[in-house]
Structure 1
Amino acid sequence: MERSGEPPALIRPGQLITDLRGAGALERWTHAASAADGVCTVRLTAGVDPLQIAADLGDRGHLVSPNHVFVGQPLWFGGPASRAVPAEPIAWTPGPGAPGGPQIAVLDTGITEHPWWKPAPWFGEVGMSAAELADADHDGRLDPQAGHGTFIAGLLVRRAPGVRLRVLKVLDGNGIGDEARVLRALHRLRHDPPGILNLSFGGHTPGDRPPPLLGAALAGLAESGTVAVACAGNTPSARPFWPAALPGVIAVGALDTAELAPAPFTAHGPWVDACARGEWLASSFLDIGGFRGYARWSGTSFAAALVSAAIAEVARHGCVPAEAAADVLDPDRGERMPGLGVVVPARL
């Protein structure tokens, strides 16, 4: 949705999201409403402006927001890696790793079975609701972002051997989801908060205003000790990209293959905290068509996964994730890249 004079942003038409208190305040404009996992999704009556209502109620202290559309962030345009391309099998055997490391929650397109984690106890706990689908629309072709979550999982387990993953599906095979679905997933994490939260998706908001419900949900997890890491987006601009630009979230941009310069597609700006290689990475993938379980891909999505894994690797040696994140992002211990923050080596 776009208003005159405002930069474009994607929202679900005619929808607002809120909590129970906000749902009461919205009653006069409500056509239909549903509530699940702490989130109310309200469908407005025809002709009601969701942006105006959200702004008015927000000014009165309610947590009300448009239902922002979020998209996974592999590279979509230009270069040889706009889509995942087949890669040769990677000869890597998962080791036991050090015990007691933090759990990483991965909110993404899901995950599929792979030799790198098939015997892992955490994979046995992944339910069917988190299964990665290759062709959800049944058109006979691989969905554009199918394999995104599996690719990210491979980067995490290689960069931090022995890491435990918890996978929740919030994006479809096109890499598209919305804030309501993300909020429901975050609500389910509250009873057993992960040490690290990897969010390799995002989007813009009308007027570049921070999404209030998402900010509150992530702040609540931070109080429980969770470190949130999010991709800065492939925009490539300094425009805030959410949730990465939220306070307390580690925003990650992408470096080129040599890890010496910004990738041409990466977002940048004072809100970006760290950067890692995001070009032409190889990782696990679906076993379908020309793919044999491995692919190469580019994007800030994958740079974010490398930073999440670097934090997990430090935390395995006896510190809490927040301390590990401070160590990884310590400007006195690593190189800084203008507009992209601290450089985190890939070490794959």
Structure 2
Amino acid sequence: MKLSFYGSSLLSSYWNGAATYYRGLLRDLAGRGYEITFYEPDAFDRQSHRDIDPPDWAAVSVYPATPEAMRAVVAEAAGADVVVKASGVGVFDDELLAGLAAAADPAAVTIFWDVDAPATLAELRADPGHPTHRVLPGLDLVLTYGGGPPVVAAYEGFGARACIPIYNALDPATHHPVPPDPRFSADLAFLGNRLPDREARVDTFFLDAARHLPERAFLIGGSGWESKAMPGNVRHLGHVSTREHNAFNATPLAVLNIARDSMAAVGFSPATRVFEAAGAGACLVTDAWEGLDLFLKEGEEVLVARDGHDVAGHLAALTPERARAVGAAARARIIAEHTYAHRGAGVDAILRDAVARKRAGQAAPARSVA
């Protein structure tokens, strides 16, 4: 089955948090017989920050960020059985979605795959004239990076035929325990780019905790933080490539997950770092959000904090033995229930069912993948 996927980038995780998600899902689908072409624009300096080589499980078409090149790659969708337009490509998003809906073969399944549903839905609520409103009812499926029942209800309210969450997961082949690396030595580490709807929560959960524990070492990785004033016990690394994530997660005493405002409000939206950290056997401390118990059990497989004071409390009480026990329990749970093999099996069933129904003139039913 031929799958054409139009997204931000498969080759680079630079300012591209969906890279690991794309790689895990698409590699698994390739193993299930899909012939995949991933289309990504040469934009945002990502091609000079590649952290994987072009894979053998997908063809990658990097096109210039020009209207002419965009129209040329849209035309190639006509030969696919499944056509996917992801959110957040960053250039010509509206034109890509409308163009692909029109260019796809009438028998092909057309999908909008939203990797930031809270942000997209906020745009749709704020702008009744948004181009996505016109295209959405004609698509066969909306798949989302997360969001659970609130996101499904919102998309169906906007006219989507079916909306199915496909959650993040772990690829054990790429994210796994490794020996500690002194570069990432710390009591608590956080990895995430500086974004407007994340910064206040980083202040609350990470920097406030650092102020509460001036004798402990804190580490922050990700782009954009270099101009941020931080306590003296916080060290900033800048961008951390995906090939270094295992060591980043395996080295500190604990690793912190902080959801963006919109993701925390919607719930059911575990970030990629949750699964990467668990895969590396890290002791994960996370802010609280609805739906967490679908993935990890509080107190046994993850430590949950409501503010920076809670984070500091967890860290002050945490021994290396306790950290290892929590990390091992998280890794066992995620491997048992939340790998990309689990997700890929669900997506494969959804896509094959949707293709069969499309060819038979039937609508795709609503289903969920946890």
Query: TM-score if structure 1 supplies the norm length?
Result: 0.35
Structure with greater proportional strand content: 1
Which structure has the bigger radius of gyration? Answer: 2
Structure with greater proportional helix content: 2
Query: TM-score if structure 2 supplies the norm length?
Result: 0.33
Higher relative contact order (CA 8 A, sep 6+): 1
